[in-house]
Amino acid sequence: ALHSQSSAQLLGIFEQHLFVGRHKKAFSNAFFAVLVVMLLLNLTLYITCAAEAVNSAFGWPMPLAKAIFYCIASAVVALGVKSIGVSEKYSMLAIGAVVVALGVLSLPKANSPLPLFGGSPALAVALYSMCMFSFSALFSAPQVVNYIGDKSKIRRCVLWGIGANALLTVGFAVITAMASGQVTRVATVGLSARHGMAATVLSTVFVALAMLTSFLSIALAQIDVIKEKTKLPGMAAWGLATLPTLAAA
């Protein structure tokens, strides 16, 4: 992204470095189609996951929970990149506070041994890579390059973002392993079962904010891709990027 003339989003980078020759336009159009569908499915998944967390914790009807999450997330995206940046920052701080609160809540009941040996660094990196891929973190790097005016801060921003994700992932994994009566497939279920309503509320906030931060960055990437490829104005691109996700959800 740093060494690309068109670094606003992944498609522009690929068009400069990868799609060459007489089939360039066909490759570009095919990748655009795949990219749009993939990002739409990701955004739909974030809406659904956040709604499921709220539904299981508080019993809200799924359609209502989906609509409320979509309205909040898409409104922030419509307000522009500054609003997204502010929302991302405070959401990450709130997620960090939730992990700390869950840790404090869990320490008195941390009766499960924490295995410090076994496995391998390669497996840990593979797991973390899978987590980052699931949240489509690769789309954030071009956005950082495109939207940060001071280019000397780009590498630091990317490293801080990846580092913050790593810290939260490890912290939540340690809490889950030590304080769940049984480590469940969805980690928040096990924590909630052991610690009651306080953990249920905190876990729901954790999931909802994680889905929100992912929705904001991926929706921005989707809008950038659509605007660059179709030359549509901002609000039209916003509608194409976000409204189908609510319908799909």
Q: What is the mean pLDDT of residues 113-138?
A: 80
Q: Which residue has the tokens 């391998």?
A: 120
Helices 154-179 and 81-106 pack at an angle, to 10 degrees, of 30
Q: What pLDDT score does 228 carry? A: 82
Q: State the Cα–Cα distance between residues 151 and 157, nearest whole angstrom.
A: 10
pLDDT confidence of 211, banded at 50, 70, 90? very high
Query: Beta-strand (E) ranges in the chain?
Result: none
* Statement: residue 154 has pLDDT above 90: no
Q: What pLDDT score does 171 carry? A: 87
pLDDT per residue over 76-95, tens digit each?
A: 999 988 899 899 899 999 99
Q: What is the mean pLDDT of residues 142-156?
A: 82
Q: Taking Cα atoms as reference points, which of 105, 95, 184 lies closest to residue 135?
A: 95
pLDDT per residue over 175-206, tens digit each?
A: 888 887 777 777 777 777 777 888 888 889 99
pLDDT confidence of 6, banded at 50, 70, 90? low
Cβ(136)–Cβ(214) below 8 Å? yes
pLDDT per residue over 18-60, tens digit each?
A: 888 889 899 999 999 998 999 999 999 999 999 998 998 888 9
Q: What pLDDT score does 194 carry? A: 77
pLDDT confidence of 66, banded at 50, 70, 90? very high
Average pLDDT in the chain: 87
Q: State the Cα–Cα distance between residues 210 and 79, nearest whole angstrom.
A: 20
Element (H, E) at 182: none
* Statement: residue 70 has pLDDT above 90: yes
